[in-house]
Amino acid sequence: MTEMRSKTHEEHSWKVDREMSDLSVAYRAIASKVESSDLTLKVLGNRRKKIENFMNDMNQKYEMLVAMMAQINGNRKELKYNQAQSFAPQAVFVGFGSNRVGLPHTNQARKDTRMHTKLPKIDFSYFNGDGPKEWVMKARKYFQLH
């Protein structure tokens, strides 16, 4: 009977040893997964910080661009106002001595020549049967300009 008990006791201890070794292997596998997860979390944390820094830089650049656009818009309005003042009608007095007559004279002709640039001369192209798409594009351009 003692043999039987010792035999069952040995079998039980082997089972416990196998279970312990299985648990040890499982523990090592879990530990390696935890380590790799920690490394992954560190990498992701670093990437998140880089993205946050990048976004902060982009926000600063955006704010600078908005300020520049507002400044350009203000300068453009001021430039338009100055141009409008320079092209405003001016009264010119014609005459000599006491015979001065006030004739409002505008510099409209000068304004027209400054505001328009000379367009390049484009001849109407005749269709010779080759390249219909190109011919249609040239014809459209001709009619847009003339």
Mean pLDDT for the stretch of residues 44-64: 96
Residue 2: half-sphere exposure toward Cβ, Cα within 13 Å = 0
Give the containing element (helix H, strand E) for 92. strand 90-94
- For residue 103, the model assigns a pLDDT of 47
Mean pLDDT for the stretch of residues 73-90: 69
Helix (H, G, I), strand (E, B) or coil at 128: coil
User: In this predicted model, what pLDDT tens digit does every residue of 29-48 receive, in sequence order?
Assistant: 999 999 999 999 999 999 99
Mean pLDDT for the stretch of residues 98-105: 49
Indicate whether this model's pTM tops 0.75.
no
Higher pLDDT, 116 or 43: 43
C-alpha span between 22 and 12 (Å, rounded) = 15
Write down the mean pLDDT value for the chain: 78
Q: Are 104 and 95 in contact (CB under 8 A)?
A: no
Higher pLDDT, 2 or 116: 2
